[in-house]
A and B are shown apart, each in its own frame.
Chain A
Amino acid sequence: MDPDAVAKAFVEHYYSTFDTTRAGLANLYQDTSMLTFEGEKIQGSQSIVSKLTSLPFQQCKHNITTVDCQPSGPAGGMLVFVSGNLQLAGEQHALKFSQMFHLMPTPQGSFFVLNDIFRLNYA
């Protein structure tokens, strides 16, 4: 399958899960996964999902502007670099963000997030 198509499909799945059933993100991470969220470092699926579900907003919508991807090496991993904006319910202005994922293949033929770094882009 075309890597760009895989990256795009993953990104759509990730953000739609985030925006509708945030706790469902748990099966996209494993124990070795690392998230750096606005500079805070978190490791492991449980801690990561705990962080994401305790963010100070209930509803949000990610709108993706750009998706770039590259293969990361012989293990079949993919680096995905996303930029877009994040609309929080009740807020007038959307927040701009950039995020990178390092996806690794699972034996079942899908991907999990090994590395995840998120940053808001302030004006």
Chain B
Amino acid sequence: MDLLSQLQRQLADFTASLYREGFVDDQFTQLQKLQDESSPEFVVEVVSLFFEDCEKLVNNMAKALEQQVVDFKQVDSHVHQLKGSSSSIGAARIKNVCIAFKTFCEAQNREGCLRCLQQVNHEHAQLKTNLQTLFTLERQIVANGGSIPAMQ
């Protein structure tokens, strides 16, 4: 197998595993479909924005949860934002944590919220690493004369 074929095979396998393990869902596929010659960096741009936004929201949530008297409505509004963004880009695991997080906010359960916050951090880090790997493989394929295969 030549290098290009190897890379393409690696990408296909790696991508399939991300879906299988629930890191991303169909909405991520939809996102990739939006990329074309007129916007070749679209997915990378949106994903970067998402991670930046995620960090900012997590910091805000952490601050709110540190207060003597926690404003759960505030926390909930941050979680709502994160749930929306993660859903929009197909970050399935983060979205699912947000769903649980919201119920803890509604129940005004600080411990539950803090646990969810930890989970969000964990999932954020994992997804970031995974997508960086994905994007690197894509770049290598293009550098070796290939084109990125259509997502299934």
Is B a genuine binding partner of A? no
